[in-house]
Chain A
Amino acid sequence: MLVLSPLLVPLITALLTALLARHAAMQTRVSVLGAATQLIFAAMLLIDVLQGGRQSVALGNWPLPYAIEFAADALSAAMVLIAALLGFATVLFGRHWNETGMGMPGLQPLLHGLLAATAAVFLAADLFNLYVWFELMLISVLGLLVLGGKRRHGDAAFKYFAVSMLGTLLMLGAVGMIYGATGHLNFSALRAASIQPGLAGALPAYIGLLLLAVLLKAGAFPLFAWLPASYHTLPAPLLALVGGLLTKVAAYVLLRLLADVFVATPGVLIEALGWLALATMLSGVLGAAYHWDLRRILAFHIVSQIGYLLFGIALATPAGAAGTVFFLLHNILVKAALFLIAGLMWASAGHYDLRRIGGLYLARPLLAVLFLVSAFSLVGVPPTTGFWGKFLLLREAFDQGRYVWGGVALAVGLLTLYSMSKIWVEGFWKPHPMQQPDHGPAQLRPAATALPATAYTAVMLLSLVILIMGIFPDPFIRYVDAATARFWTGALR
């Protein structure tokens, strides 16, 4: 039952907040409480998994492999916990946040629906169930995208819908054909069935189709255009949640499917994935270098970071998988923290466009420090989480003799540094463009009031976790090593 709690708690919270749609203050309180409860249950689940190994529940007491199974192994439990932490941080951040798209009655139910669906994707041990929750996740995001009610929101939501619908159909078709070929949907049964020699002809094609669908949802090259076209219309807290989690969920699904379920996937698909990863990394970081809008810069960096994750998956070894999982955990936190900081920069300086803001270093020193923590992590300066993540991935790549892959990944790190320095120089160091020379202290947006304390608390919470993970990486690295030890080997649990 504990296995289902990270999914049931936000579902119940979504229900309660929907019924409280007319009582805004009460709704927010229930929402924060619900997010905190999910975090507690997720932590309990992780402890349970650490002590007792993989936990699973077969819905309706049907016999496996025919029942719908939800299971938490070390990887799922960690993902669920990090998603719950992010959910709590965003709900906290959004409490007193005033931006187009916030404060609508439908926001809290959709947000918790998204959290429930995300947790369910991490816990699903069944291909079709995975598909269902993935779609529920997309439906929640579509709902969040239109909340702003301006034309740009409709524009973004429609593009997002059209592309994700295509991905949905590809995924559904692939799931159906895999079921047709193997007769199974449960992960354990599929793992056993997929290594039958009789399937060596047809199955790789179906897996390829499934990979295409997941890659589209992950925002991999060349299918990422929907991401920077839609994300930036969201208000800061939602942007952090959606930008921090969604594509990473797809990366998790990819890792789970390739490393744990379809272990007999032919090498040519994995090799292709590696080269796609390089293209994804490069195109994302170059896109980011072009833009001046904070949200667009960070949205393109999502694409680039997805490239690192695909690269780790394409290394196709337990060590590569361990690096991928570490990078995944790091990236969810850092990306979300950066989006939240971008929100605080917007609230302080009045614009998301770097050309129209400045002077934040003098006006908001604490914000500058918080930005540095996350920015250094994203770039990979030691000793931050990003450094350890990239170190694990690159060490494995060079061990395998993948010098080109490793070299590109290093170069992309440098370009990331360029983007982060751009934000630092333009947003923090340079004087605000509206400031008159010799006119007192740094000027902020005309009506800039004190930032909400809840928002700062949320960012500090995330930064604290990032710092701990960066300075004391040992237990985390040991954890991901243990979580992925049997990946890519075809070994059963």
Chain B
Amino acid sequence: MSLMLMLGISLTVAAGVLLALSRDLFRLIVGLAVLGSATNLIVFMAARPGSLIPPLVEAGTQQLSTAAANPLPQALVLTAIVIGFALLCFALVLGAWLAGNSAGDADQLRDAEPAATDAVKPPVLEP
């Protein structure tokens, strides 16, 4: 079971890295999203999921049953998903905006960089 999950996670990481290395902005975003899912799985696995009983306090009792799953990893992963989701949504809107402004490829992201001809010495300015 653990071995299968480990293989699955490794494959997901590999797919994510491959996509994230692309120069196409949307592939990059999807790659980071896939990497994010892999990371969430890693967190979930690292916290050793055991029981499959939902961690809810039964009616009439005051304590969680000892057979129930550990709620903490679930809370951690849910929070991580929300954060990853927010970043991903932002990136998608930004990517769409950039693509709409003819900068859908990483090579075209040059607007915030100094001009390639920038000399070390200051040029003589025209009056």
A356–B126 alpha-carbon span in the complex (Å): 10
A168 touches B103 (CB 8 A): no
B43 touches A165 (CB 8 A): no
A229–B106 alpha-carbon span in the complex (Å): 14
B79 touches A229 (CB 8 A): no
B122 touches A158 (CB 8 A): no
> Using Cβ atoms and an 8 Å threshold, which residues of chain A touch B32?
162, 165-166, 169
**A22 adjacent to chain B (CB < 8 Å):** no
> Using Cβ atoms and an 8 Å threshold, which residues of chain B touch A150?
111
Which single residue of chain B is at the shortest CB-CB distance from A169?
B39
A175–B97 alpha-carbon span in the complex (Å): 33
> Using Cβ atoms and an 8 Å threshold, which residues of chain B touch A173?
39, 42-43
Number of interface residues of A (CB under 8 A): 49
A467–B103 alpha-carbon span in the complex (Å): 46
A290 touches B120 (CB 8 A): yes
Known: A139-B86, A157-B94, A168-B87. A179 touches B46 (CB 8 A): yes
The residue from A166, A232, A355 contacting B112, defined by CB atoms under 8 A apart: A232
**A176 adjacent to chain B (CB < 8 Å):** yes
**A177 adjacent to chain B (CB < 8 Å):** yes
**A103 adjacent to chain B (CB < 8 Å):** no
A172 touches B114 (CB 8 A): no
Which single residue of chain B is at the shortest CB-CB distance from A289?
B120
Which single residue of chain B is at the shortest CB-CB distance from A180?
B46
Give the contact-size bracket for chain B. 35 or more
A229 touches B103 (CB 8 A): no
**A433 adjacent to chain B (CB < 8 Å):** yes
Among the 9-residue stretches A240-248, A291-299, A450-458, the one with 4 or more Cβ atoms under 8 Å from chain B is: A291-299
A436–B91 alpha-carbon span in the complex (Å): 49
Interface string of A173-185 (1 = CB under 8 A from B): 1011101110000
> Using Cβ atoms and an 8 Å threshold, which residues of chain A touch B125?
355-356, 433-434
A123–B32 alpha-carbon span in the complex (Å): 29
**A132 adjacent to chain B (CB < 8 Å):** yes
Q: Chain B nearest CB: distance from A40 CB in Å?
A: 31
A176 touches B76 (CB 8 A): yes
A154 touches B76 (CB 8 A): no
**B25 adjacent to chain A (CB < 8 Å):** yes
> Using Cβ atoms and an 8 Å threshold, which residues of chain B touch A156?
112
Q: Chain A nearest CB: distance from B62 CB in Å?
A: 14
Interface string of A193-233 (1 = CB under 8 A from B): 00000000000000000000000000000000000011011
A150–B112 alpha-carbon span in the complex (Å): 10
Known: A132-B83, A161-B91, A433-B125. A169 touches B35 (CB 8 A): yes
Known: A168-B83, A232-B112. A154 touches B43 (CB 8 A): no
A142 touches B90 (CB 8 A): yes
B111 touches A151 (CB 8 A): yes
B83 touches A161 (CB 8 A): no
Q: Chain B nearest CB: distance from A281 CB in Å?
A: 21
Interface string of B73-89 (1 = CB under 8 A from A): 10010011001101100
Which single residue of chain A is at the shortest CB-CB distance from B70?
A183
Known: A155-B109, A233-B112, A355-B122. A128 touches B46 (CB 8 A): no
A161 touches B127 (CB 8 A): no
A residues with CB within 8 A of B: 66, 128, 132, 135-136, 138-139, 142-143, 146, 150-159, 161-162, 165-166, 168-169, 172-173, 175-177, 179-181, 229-230, 232-233, 290-293, 296, 354-356, 433-434, 436
| 7 contacts across the A-B interface (CB closer than 8 A) | A128-B79, A176-B39, A177-B43, A180-B45, A233-B112, A293-B114, A436-B127
Known: A151-B101, A232-B112. 7 other contacts (CB 8 A): A155-B112, A158-B25, A161-B90, A169-B36, A173-B43, A292-B118, A354-B122
B residues with CB within 8 A of A: 20, 25, 28, 32, 35-36, 39-40, 42-48, 72-73, 76, 79-80, 83-84, 86-87, 90-91, 94-95, 97-98, 101, 103, 109-114, 118, 120, 122-123, 125, 127
